[in-house]
Structure 1
Amino acid sequence: MATSGHTIKAFDEDLAELRALVAEMGGLAEAAIDEAVKALLRRDLESAARLVEEDRRIDAMEADLERRAVRLIALRAPLADDLREVLAALKIAGVIERIGDYAKNIAKRVPLLQEVRDIDPMAILPAMADAVSEMVHDVLDAYAARDAHAAIEVCRRDRRVDDLYNSLFRALLTYMMENPSNIGASTHLLFVAKNLERMGDHATNAAEMIYFAATGEQITERPRGTDPFAVGEG
């Protein structure tokens, strides 16, 4: 019995370390989203370069978490709820790493837009970045609390990001048609917007994994016009 208690305590401590790493990674990625868009709007080359370098820290933390998770599975052989917890940490760490990559990609566009004057559709970018950053923040909160309902709410908010992306896409398309000289800069901004839209998708993926870890069930794909979060059987 003593051995069993020791094993459970050791597992809980290892899992707490995984959770702490996920939280730290998430905080870095969330900040990177905001800073990347600010650097773009301000044409701040120094901030953009720093963001590109700092992404290596998120990459290293994901590699560390992956090693810890594999070791935890090998040593503790977790089952059912415990295994889902470890897999959720792995999945969410991967999502955060990708979000960091997307922020880095935005930062890399800053030098390419250095000499470009302000383009009216750029005004949509801060709202889009805020919506994505809030999704990332809230999905991390949902993970920390194992809150299935909060995870569903994050999924629902991805539509807001998609709507903003579509709005920006249409505005930039019109902008390019009105003045072909704006095509180059507008293309860069479309790339930025697509990176933000993909961040929202990844936050949704993390929320779906949180829901699964908390309930043992998956959020099913839904056809248009029906309940988007009907839970399947089994």
Structure 2
Amino acid sequence: MSSLRSETDQLEKLSVRLCAMGGLVEHQLSSAISAFERRDLSLARQVIDGDKTVDEREAEIEQMVIDLLESRRLAGSNLRQAIMAMKVANTLERVGDLSKNIAKRSLVTSREDTADTVASVVRMGRIALRQLHDVLNAYQDRNPDIAVAVWGGDQEIDELFNSIFREILTTMSRDPSRISAGTHLAFVAKNFERIGDHATNIAERIYYSMTGDLLEEARPKTDITSMTVIEGKPADAPGEPQLN
């Protein structure tokens, strides 16, 4: 009985540590969005500097899982929970990296004329933040239904990314002086799209750890930017570019 209690205690400590890391990464992402929106260079640098802490938290959780697996013969839901924690921590670390990249690009976009597109990109960031928040709540509340909702909600981010990407390409084709700003905006938007993907990956792992079942349906995916082409005359020639 004491052995089972000890195993349960260690898994609970692992869960608490993972929740804390999730809260830290959520804060990093929220701050990166605010820095980008408000052109707040000080906040952007705080996000960049804070990424080291995220990396440290991921390494701590990985070591906790390794120690647990070496000392215990985990099986069933306990084994799934331990493996899930390590994988989710790794995914959260990637979200932290993307938040840092957004903050870095904010240092550049703050000097550029980007007002006509920033609002749309910020909206996309807020959706990605909501997805991350919800999936972390699914883990903390042990609620697989919330995980399923997050898993199926990625389409909204993809569709907004498609729209923003086309808007940015159109702007750059009309005015070559906007290419630098547009390139950075496109990368920021892509980072938000990737964060949405990571939130759905976390949802899949949480669902499996709780139920022992895989989400077997094909996940909705509507990012078509890899096939987006803008055809038209050079920016200094008359006529509007045509979107395909």
TM-based fold match above 0.5: yes
User: Offset of 1:115 from its aligned partner?
Assistant: 1.8
Post-superposition CA distance 1:86-121 (Å, at most 9, x none): 111111111111100000001111222232123312
**What percentage of residue pairs aligned between the two structures are identical?**
38
> More deviation in 33-42 or 193-202?
33-42
> Do structure 1's residue 116 and structure 2's residue 150 form an aligned pair?
no
> Residue 207 of structure 2 contacts residue 213 of structure 2 at CA under 8 Å; is this kept in 1?
yes
Mapped to 2, the partners of 1:130 and 1:41 lie a distance apart of 11
CA positional deviation for 1:224: 7.1
Tell me which amino acid in the other structure corresponds to 1:16. Answer: E
Is 2:197 aligned against 1:196?
Answer: no
Q: 1:210 aligns with which of 197, 206, 226?
A: 206
Q: 1:158 aligns with which of 154, 158, 161?
A: 154
Query: Residues 154 and 220 of structure 2 are in contact (CA less than 8 Å); yes or no, is this contact kept in structure 1?
Result: no
Show the 5 A alignment for 1:83-232: 83-222=79-218
The one-letter code sitting in structure 2 at the alignment partner of 1:154 is V
- Counterpart CA distance in 1 for 2:156 and 2:112 is 28
Q: Is the counterpart of residue 23 in structure 1 residue 23 in structure 2? A: no
- What's the offset of the Cα at 1:20? 1.0
Shift of 1:223: 8.1
* 84-93 vs 118-127, which moves further: 118-127
Q: Structure 2: which amino acid aligns with 1:198? A: R
Superposed CA RMSD: 1.5
2:37–2:119 Cα contact (<8 Å) kept? no
Aligned residue identity for 1:134: R
Paired positions, count: 221
The correspondence for 2:31, drawn from 10, 30, 35, is 35
Cα distance in 1, alignment partners of residues 202 and 105 from structure 2: 26
The AA in structure 2 aligned to 1:56 is K
Matched, 1:62 2:58: yes
| Change in 2 beyond 3 A, CA 1:223/1:39 | closer
Hey, what's the Cα distance between the residues in 1 that align with 2:104 and 2:2? 49
User: Higher helix proportion, which one?
Assistant: 1
Tell me if the contact between 2:155 and 2:220 (Cα under 8 Å) persists in the aligned partners.
no
1:229 matched residue in structure 2: none
Gaps of 5+ in 1: 226-234
